[in-house]
Amino acid sequence: MNEVLKEFQDTLESAYQKLYAMPAALTESPWAQGKWTRKQVLGHLIDSASTNHQRFVRGQLSKHAVIPGYNPDQWVEVQKYQELPWLTILNLWYAYNQHLLGIASKIEPDKLDNVIQIAGESFEAPLRWWVTDYVRHLRHHLGQVFNGIDSDDTTSG
């Protein structure tokens, strides 16, 4: 788990600097034709942080937690990330992820085997899997944001 947490922290620091320096016009454009804009991708990562916040906390409070799922496209649409200033989205994303990193860093080892299931789905996995998957998911979407503009693979998924 220490390696995953180190990867999480390194990804946040590296990505934040690059995202902060990103030209505003680029944030308005889709990362690929027919895809979300970079603002919307980062907004989706805020939604993912929110969802995983529930997983990281509730997963420690119960041996078998059932957590509601969500529809990412609907969440991005309803929240109108495209209309928000880039720095508002970026700073919320960064702060929320710093909070999640703090939570994940303090999970007691015996809690990592607690199981989390998405309501209405049969898939379930231990908390350690959800933490690892969150970092993988984060890196995957940051790779989309940097698609075509970043040759550094530290955030590719």
Per-residue pLDDT of the chain (157 residues; tens, 9 = 90+): 999 999 999 999 999 999 999 998 899 988 888 899 999 999 999 999 999 999 999 999 999 999 999 999 999 999 999 999 999 999 999 999 999 999 999 999 999 999 999 999 999 999 999 999 999 999 999 999 998 775 444 444 4
Helix 38-61 × helix 127-145 angle, to 10°? 170
Between CA 91 and CA 16 the distance in angstroms is 9
CA nearest 25: which of 80, 77, 86? Answer: 86
Q: Is 19 exposed, middle or buried (0-12, 13-18, 19+ CB in 10 A)?
A: buried
Query: Domains in the chain and their CATH numbers?
Result: 2-155 (1.20.120.450)
Give the pLDDT of residue 37: 95
d(CA 65, CA 149): 40
Structure tokens at 75: 């969440």
CA 35 – CA 30 distance, rounded (Å): 6
